[in-house]
Amino acid sequence: MSGYSAAWLTLRERYDLGARNGAVLDAVADAFLGQTSISVVDLACGTGSTLRAIAEHLPPRQNWRLVDNDLGLLARASTLRRPPDVNVVTKPIDLVRDLELALEGPLDLVTASALLDLVSLEWLDRLVVEAAARCLPVYAALTYDGRTVLEPSEGLDLEVLACFNGHQRTDKGFGPALGPSAAARAVERFEHFGYAVVQGRSDWVLRPNDPAIQEALFAGWAELGALSTALSSDLISAWLTQRRSHLAEGRSSLRMGHVDIFARPMGAR
Protein backbone atom coordinates (compact mmCIF):
# COMPACT_ATOMS: atom_id res chain seq x y z
CA MET A 1 0.00 0.00 0.00
CA SER A 2 1.35 3.42 -0.90
CA GLY A 3 0.07 5.29 2.13
CA TYR A 4 -2.07 8.27 1.21
CA SER A 5 -0.74 8.65 -2.34
CA ALA A 6 -3.08 9.69 -5.13
CA ALA A 7 -2.46 6.35 -6.82
CA TRP A 8 -3.59 4.37 -3.77
CA LEU A 9 -6.61 6.61 -3.21
CA THR A 10 -7.61 6.24 -6.86
CA LEU A 11 -7.21 2.46 -6.69
CA ARG A 12 -9.38 2.08 -3.62
CA GLU A 13 -12.10 4.58 -4.55
CA ARG A 14 -14.42 2.23 -6.41
CA TYR A 15 -14.21 -0.32 -3.61
CA ASP A 16 -14.98 2.38 -1.06
CA LEU A 17 -17.94 3.46 -3.17
CA GLY A 18 -19.33 -0.06 -3.34
CA ALA A 19 -18.77 -0.67 0.36
CA ARG A 20 -20.50 2.41 1.81
CA ASN A 21 -23.43 1.33 3.95
CA GLY A 22 -26.77 2.17 2.31
CA ALA A 23 -28.73 2.43 5.54
CA VAL A 24 -26.24 4.90 6.99
CA LEU A 25 -26.30 6.94 3.78
CA ASP A 26 -30.10 6.93 3.92
CA ALA A 27 -29.90 8.35 7.45
CA VAL A 28 -27.63 11.13 6.19
CA ALA A 29 -30.04 11.92 3.36
CA ASP A 30 -33.06 11.86 5.67
CA ALA A 31 -31.42 14.36 8.02
CA PHE A 32 -31.48 17.01 5.28
CA LEU A 33 -34.80 16.28 3.59
CA GLY A 34 -36.56 19.47 2.60
CA GLN A 35 -33.39 21.55 2.46
CA THR A 36 -32.44 23.02 -0.89
CA SER A 37 -28.83 23.70 0.04
CA ILE A 38 -26.16 22.36 2.35
CA SER A 39 -22.65 23.28 3.49
CA VAL A 40 -20.23 20.43 4.15
CA VAL A 41 -16.66 20.17 5.41
CA ASP A 42 -14.76 17.00 4.47
CA LEU A 43 -11.84 16.29 6.79
CA ALA A 44 -8.73 14.66 5.30
CA CYS A 45 -10.46 14.79 1.93
CA GLY A 46 -7.75 13.15 -0.17
CA THR A 47 -8.82 13.52 -3.80
CA GLY A 48 -12.46 14.25 -2.91
CA SER A 49 -13.92 10.74 -3.02
CA THR A 50 -16.42 11.44 -0.23
CA LEU A 51 -17.93 14.29 -2.22
CA ARG A 52 -18.27 12.11 -5.30
CA ALA A 53 -19.78 9.29 -3.28
CA ILE A 54 -22.48 11.15 -1.38
CA ALA A 55 -23.31 14.34 -3.32
CA GLU A 56 -26.31 12.67 -4.96
CA HIS A 57 -27.77 11.92 -1.52
CA LEU A 58 -27.70 15.56 -0.37
CA PRO A 59 -29.73 18.68 -1.25
CA PRO A 60 -29.10 19.88 -4.80
CA ARG A 61 -27.15 23.05 -4.02
CA GLN A 62 -23.98 22.18 -2.17
CA ASN A 63 -20.99 24.05 -0.82
CA TRP A 64 -18.05 21.83 0.07
CA ARG A 65 -14.92 22.78 1.99
CA LEU A 66 -12.32 20.10 1.27
CA VAL A 67 -9.62 20.01 3.94
CA ASP A 68 -6.28 18.22 3.80
CA ASN A 69 -2.64 18.95 4.62
CA ASP A 70 -1.42 17.47 1.31
CA LEU A 71 -1.32 20.19 -1.35
CA GLY A 72 -0.97 17.65 -4.17
CA LEU A 73 -4.12 15.81 -3.14
CA LEU A 74 -6.00 19.09 -2.73
CA ALA A 75 -4.98 20.12 -6.24
CA ARG A 76 -6.40 16.87 -7.63
CA ALA A 77 -9.56 17.24 -5.56
CA SER A 78 -10.19 20.69 -7.01
CA THR A 79 -10.04 19.46 -10.61
CA LEU A 80 -11.66 16.01 -10.59
CA ARG A 81 -15.23 15.50 -11.73
CA ARG A 82 -18.12 16.56 -9.52
CA PRO A 83 -21.87 17.00 -9.92
CA PRO A 84 -23.38 20.28 -11.18
CA ASP A 85 -24.49 22.86 -8.60
CA VAL A 86 -21.66 21.78 -6.33
CA ASN A 87 -19.29 24.52 -5.26
CA VAL A 88 -15.89 23.36 -3.96
CA VAL A 89 -13.29 25.25 -1.97
CA THR A 90 -10.06 23.50 -1.00
CA LYS A 91 -8.29 24.49 2.20
CA PRO A 92 -4.87 23.30 3.39
CA ILE A 93 -5.15 22.70 7.12
CA ASP A 94 -3.13 20.62 9.56
CA LEU A 95 -5.93 18.78 11.35
CA VAL A 96 -3.64 17.81 14.20
CA ARG A 97 -3.01 21.43 15.08
CA ASP A 98 -5.97 23.28 13.61
CA LEU A 99 -9.07 21.06 13.68
CA GLU A 100 -11.07 23.96 15.06
CA LEU A 101 -10.11 26.10 12.07
CA ALA A 102 -11.47 23.44 9.72
CA LEU A 103 -14.86 23.65 11.44
CA GLU A 104 -15.19 27.43 11.40
CA GLY A 105 -18.09 29.20 9.71
CA PRO A 106 -21.61 28.13 8.80
CA LEU A 107 -21.76 24.35 8.28
CA ASP A 108 -24.47 21.70 8.15
CA LEU A 109 -22.43 18.49 8.02
CA VAL A 110 -18.96 17.15 8.80
CA THR A 111 -17.71 14.21 6.74
CA ALA A 112 -14.62 12.00 6.83
CA SER A 113 -13.68 8.74 5.17
CA ALA A 114 -11.03 6.22 6.27
CA LEU A 115 -9.84 8.66 8.93
CA LEU A 116 -10.98 7.66 12.42
CA ASP A 117 -8.83 4.52 12.63
CA LEU A 118 -5.77 6.74 12.08
CA VAL A 119 -6.42 9.16 14.96
CA SER A 120 -5.86 8.99 18.70
CA LEU A 121 -8.56 8.91 21.34
CA GLU A 122 -7.56 12.44 22.34
CA TRP A 123 -8.04 13.73 18.78
CA LEU A 124 -11.33 11.87 18.43
CA ASP A 125 -12.54 13.54 21.62
CA ARG A 126 -11.55 16.92 20.17
CA LEU A 127 -13.62 16.20 17.07
CA VAL A 128 -16.64 15.09 19.09
CA VAL A 129 -16.44 18.05 21.47
CA GLU A 130 -16.02 20.59 18.67
CA ALA A 131 -18.84 19.07 16.62
CA ALA A 132 -21.13 18.94 19.66
CA ALA A 133 -20.38 22.57 20.53
CA ARG A 134 -21.58 23.52 17.04
CA CYS A 135 -24.49 20.99 16.97
CA LEU A 136 -23.00 19.49 13.83
CA PRO A 137 -23.86 16.00 12.54
CA VAL A 138 -20.90 13.85 11.52
CA TYR A 139 -20.78 11.20 8.79
CA ALA A 140 -17.63 9.10 9.22
CA ALA A 141 -17.30 6.25 6.74
CA LEU A 142 -14.97 3.34 6.05
CA THR A 143 -13.34 3.06 9.44
CA TYR A 144 -11.29 -0.16 9.53
CA ASP A 145 -12.36 -2.45 12.37
CA GLY A 146 -9.87 -5.32 12.23
CA ARG A 147 -12.08 -7.97 10.59
CA THR A 148 -10.18 -9.47 7.65
CA VAL A 149 -10.73 -12.91 6.14
CA LEU A 150 -8.60 -14.29 3.29
CA GLU A 151 -9.55 -17.12 0.94
CA PRO A 152 -7.98 -19.55 0.42
CA SER A 153 -6.43 -19.35 3.88
CA GLU A 154 -2.73 -19.76 4.57
CA GLY A 155 -0.95 -20.71 7.78
CA LEU A 156 0.57 -17.28 8.38
CA ASP A 157 -2.51 -15.20 7.54
CA LEU A 158 -3.39 -14.53 11.18
CA GLU A 159 0.18 -13.63 12.12
CA VAL A 160 0.60 -11.25 9.17
CA LEU A 161 -2.75 -9.61 9.85
CA ALA A 162 -1.82 -9.26 13.52
CA CYS A 163 1.25 -7.29 12.42
CA PHE A 164 -0.97 -5.06 10.28
CA ASN A 165 -3.48 -4.51 13.09
CA GLY A 166 -0.63 -3.70 15.46
CA HIS A 167 0.73 -1.16 12.99
CA GLN A 168 -2.73 0.41 12.73
CA ARG A 169 -2.37 1.40 16.37
CA THR A 170 0.90 3.27 15.87
CA ASP A 171 1.16 7.04 15.57
CA LYS A 172 -0.04 8.30 12.15
CA GLY A 173 0.56 11.91 13.12
CA PHE A 174 -2.41 12.26 15.48
CA GLY A 175 -0.87 10.38 18.42
CA PRO A 176 -1.22 6.62 19.12
CA ALA A 177 -3.95 5.56 16.68
CA LEU A 178 -7.17 3.84 17.73
CA GLY A 179 -6.84 1.43 14.82
CA PRO A 180 -9.44 -1.36 14.81
CA SER A 181 -11.13 -0.02 17.96
CA ALA A 182 -11.89 3.37 16.40
CA ALA A 183 -15.46 2.80 15.20
CA ALA A 184 -16.66 1.43 18.53
CA ARG A 185 -14.97 4.25 20.44
CA ALA A 186 -16.43 6.87 18.10
CA VAL A 187 -19.95 5.55 18.68
CA GLU A 188 -19.34 5.55 22.42
CA ARG A 189 -18.01 9.10 22.48
CA PHE A 190 -20.72 10.57 20.25
CA GLU A 191 -23.45 8.92 22.32
CA HIS A 192 -21.80 10.23 25.50
CA PHE A 193 -22.17 13.76 24.09
CA GLY A 194 -25.85 13.33 23.29
CA TYR A 195 -25.76 12.12 19.71
CA ALA A 196 -27.99 9.51 18.13
CA VAL A 197 -25.80 7.21 16.06
CA VAL A 198 -26.69 5.05 13.07
CA GLN A 199 -23.98 2.55 12.18
CA GLY A 200 -23.47 -0.28 9.73
CA ARG A 201 -20.78 -2.41 8.17
CA SER A 202 -19.09 -1.19 4.99
CA ASP A 203 -16.77 -4.07 4.21
CA TRP A 204 -14.56 -4.32 1.17
CA VAL A 205 -15.40 -7.55 -0.65
CA LEU A 206 -12.56 -8.29 -3.04
CA ARG A 207 -12.92 -11.12 -5.53
CA PRO A 208 -10.53 -12.89 -7.91
CA ASN A 209 -11.23 -10.25 -10.57
CA ASP A 210 -9.84 -7.54 -8.23
CA PRO A 211 -6.14 -8.43 -8.39
CA ALA A 212 -4.57 -4.95 -8.32
CA ILE A 213 -5.92 -3.91 -4.94
CA GLN A 214 -5.29 -7.34 -3.46
CA GLU A 215 -1.68 -7.22 -4.66
CA ALA A 216 -1.27 -3.78 -3.08
CA LEU A 217 -2.70 -5.01 0.22
CA PHE A 218 -0.60 -8.18 0.31
CA ALA A 219 2.60 -6.31 -0.52
CA GLY A 220 1.86 -3.70 2.15
CA TRP A 221 1.08 -6.32 4.79
CA ALA A 222 4.27 -8.23 3.93
CA GLU A 223 6.29 -5.04 4.31
CA LEU A 224 4.82 -4.47 7.76
CA GLY A 225 5.27 -8.10 8.70
CA ALA A 226 8.96 -7.86 7.81
CA LEU A 227 9.29 -5.13 10.45
CA SER A 228 8.04 -7.50 13.14
CA THR A 229 10.43 -9.48 15.30
CA ALA A 230 7.86 -12.29 15.46
CA LEU A 231 8.21 -13.36 11.82
CA SER A 232 11.35 -14.04 9.81
CA SER A 233 11.84 -12.43 6.40
CA ASP A 234 11.89 -15.91 4.84
CA LEU A 235 8.48 -16.76 6.29
CA ILE A 236 7.04 -13.44 5.13
CA SER A 237 8.48 -13.90 1.65
CA ALA A 238 7.03 -17.42 1.41
CA TRP A 239 3.63 -16.14 2.55
CA LEU A 240 3.64 -13.36 -0.05
CA THR A 241 4.69 -15.77 -2.79
CA GLN A 242 1.79 -18.09 -1.93
CA ARG A 243 -0.74 -15.28 -1.83
CA ARG A 244 0.48 -14.04 -5.21
CA SER A 245 0.16 -17.57 -6.53
CA HIS A 246 -3.51 -17.63 -5.49
CA LEU A 247 -3.97 -14.28 -7.24
CA ALA A 248 -2.37 -15.53 -10.45
CA GLU A 249 -4.57 -18.63 -10.39
CA GLY A 250 -7.72 -16.53 -9.99
CA ARG A 251 -8.50 -18.05 -6.60
CA SER A 252 -7.87 -15.16 -4.19
CA SER A 253 -10.59 -13.24 -2.41
CA LEU A 254 -10.89 -11.35 0.84
CA ARG A 255 -13.28 -9.43 3.04
CA MET A 256 -11.90 -6.45 4.94
CA GLY A 257 -14.10 -5.02 7.66
CA HIS A 258 -15.09 -1.36 7.88
CA VAL A 259 -17.84 0.52 9.69
CA ASP A 260 -19.80 3.64 8.69
CA ILE A 261 -21.44 5.86 11.27
CA PHE A 262 -23.75 8.86 11.14
CA ALA A 263 -23.87 10.77 14.41
CA ARG A 264 -26.62 13.36 14.77
CA PRO A 265 -27.24 15.65 17.75
CA MET A 266 -30.53 14.62 19.31
CA GLY A 267 -33.18 17.31 19.24
CA ALA A 268 -31.12 19.58 17.00
CA ARG A 269 -31.23 20.70 13.37
pLDDT digits (tens, 9 = 90+) for 21-76: 999 999 999 999 999 999 999 999 999 999 999 999 999 999 999 999 999 999 99
pLDDT at 3 over 70: no
Residue 177 in contact with residue 169, Cβ under 8 Å? yes
- With a pLDDT cut of 70, the percent of the chain lying above it is 98
Question: What is the structure's pLDDT at 199?
Answer: 98
**Mean pLDDT of all residues in 118-142:** 98
Question: What is the structure's pLDDT at 268?
Answer: 54
The beta strand positions in 152-265, using DSSP E, are 195-201, 204-206, 253-265
Question: What is the structure's pLDDT at 266?
Answer: 87
Instruction: Give the mean pLDDT of the chain.
Output: 94
Residue 144 in contact with residue 265, Cβ under 8 Å? no
Question: What is the structure's pLDDT at 81?
Answer: 75
pLDDT 10s digits, 152-204: 999 899 999 999 999 999 999 999 999 999 999 999 999 999 999 999 999 99
Q: What angle do CA 209, 215, 220 make, to 5 degrees?
A: 150
pLDDT 10s digits, 209-263: 999 999 999 999 999 988 877 789 999 999 999 999 999 999 999 999 999 999 9
Phi, psi dihedrals of residue 153, rounded to the nearest 5°: -80, 155
pLDDT at 132 over 50: yes
d(CA 117, CA 42): 16
